[in-house]
């Protein structure tokens, strides 16, 4: 709910923002209020409350209070913080989509153009790029590396802490280590960042602002997603990291367009050749009546043509 309000906050009218501030400040107390009571305490009109609920995507104040109560009560443990144990499939889909969309909007609105620009310039000029991540972030690191390997820069992704720690110690000047971590507090990631910088490489972190990892990195791309990954499966933070990886990859591709265009064209042509839709379907003749359908092996003796048999003399 908090992320949903933040996503539309800039589009609200002043009176609706005042109501949003009251809801954010008083939390669960709002659930026990009627619409007239909330209007009086927040200093707004009842039509303002109706417009506020509509801006959040709810049919009315009653649905808003119901959803708000579920958010305050907590989500299904270990799965998703908005999903309740008694939710129907349609409710689950709506909540997961709503949380993801709100998170992406929040990250986009808080994104620094300078951070993105510095990150793109650093990666576009790198001699080698290595992507590190632990657990769920390791999958994200691999996905981002999959975008970058086709851009003419040697790349690799590691999710094993022992491996990426050793690899970080072997980097050198001109290399870049990209570290992905939502919390920015994982000991293995902090060690890798320290080793990479100690070996002369640069560190780009996709992480939470104010985290220990952010303080170690040369360039940071922040994704401040409020997600309790200690309790719930990290879902929205993962999506935001994937999108930020796409942003960086697109920027590097544009900056290196002249040097990578020919290679990307060759790669695309090769992929087209491997698609079934572009291949000529094999032609199979229907089997003749009364004959076996099995084809002779390469080692079988093929029968002589009819003309050759006609020229043979009988014994």
pTM: 0.62
Is 2-110 CATH 3.40.50.2300?
Answer: no
Average pLDDT of the residues in 116-121: 97
Tell me the residue ranges of DSSP E strands in 187-252: 202-207, 219-222
Does the pLDDT value for residue 313 go beyond 60? Answer: no
Q: pLDDT tens for residues 136-154? A: 899 999 999 999 998 989 9
- Which of 85-94, 104-113, 134-143 is predicted with the least confidence, judged by mean pLDDT? 85-94
Indicate the class that CATH gives domain 113-262.
alpha beta
d(CA 92, CA 76): 11
- Cα–Cα–Cα angle for 107, 112, 117, rounded to 5 degrees: 120
Q: Where are the domains of the chain?
A: 2-110, 113-262
Residue 275's Cβ-count burial label (10 Å; 0-12, 13-18, 19+) is: exposed
Give the pLDDT of residue 169: 97
Same fold, 2-110 and 113-262: no
Does residue 116 contact residue 162 with C-beta atoms inside 8 Å? no
CB of 203 within 8 A of CB of 193?
yes
Average pLDDT over residues 109-137: 95
Structure tokens at 170: 């072997």
For 248-291, how does the pLDDT look when each residue is reduced to its tens digit (9 = 90+)? Answer: 999 999 999 888 877 778 877 887 888 886 555 455 555 555 54
pLDDT tens column, 11-27:
899 999 999 989 888 87
């Amino acid at each position: 709910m908090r992320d949903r309000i933040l996503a539309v906050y800039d589009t609200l009218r002043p009176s609706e923002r005042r109501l949003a501030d009251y809801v954010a400040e008083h939390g669960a107390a709002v659930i026990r209020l009627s619409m007239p009571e909330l209007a009086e305490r927040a200093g707004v009109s009842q039509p303002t409350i109706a417009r506020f609920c509509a801006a959040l995507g709810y049919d009315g104040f009653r649905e808003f209070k119901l959803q708000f109560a579920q958010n305050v009560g907590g989500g299904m443990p270990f799965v998703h913080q908005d999903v309740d144990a008694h939710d129907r499939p349609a409710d689950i889909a709506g909540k997961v989509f709503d949380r993801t969309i709100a998170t992406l909007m929040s990250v986009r609105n808080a994104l620094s153009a300078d951070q993105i620009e510095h990150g793109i310039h650093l990666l576009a000029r790198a001699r080698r790029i290595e992507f590190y991540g632990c657990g769920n972030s390791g999958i994200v690191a691999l996905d981002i590396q999959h975008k970058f390997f086709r851009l003419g820069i040697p790349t690799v992704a590691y999710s094993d802490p022992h491996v990426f720690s050793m690899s970080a110690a072997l980097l050198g000047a001109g290399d870049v280590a990209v570290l992905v971590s939502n919390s920015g507090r994982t000991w293995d990631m902090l060690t890798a960042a320290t080793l990479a910088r100690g070996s002369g490489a640069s560190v780009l972190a996709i992480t939470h602002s104010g985290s220990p990892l952010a303080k170690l990195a040369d360039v940071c791309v922040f994704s401040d997603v409020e997600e309790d990954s200690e309790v719930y499966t990290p879902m929205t933070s993962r999506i935001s990291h994937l999108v930020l990886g796409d942003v960086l990859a697109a920027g590097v591709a544009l900056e290196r367009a002249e040097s990578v265009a020919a290679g990307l064209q060759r790669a695309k042509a090769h992929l087209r050749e491997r698609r079934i839709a572009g291949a000529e379907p094999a032609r199979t003749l229907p089997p003749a009546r009364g004959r076996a359908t099995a084809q002779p092996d390469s080692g079988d003796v093929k029968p002589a043509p009819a003309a050759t048999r006609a020229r043979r003399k009988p014994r």
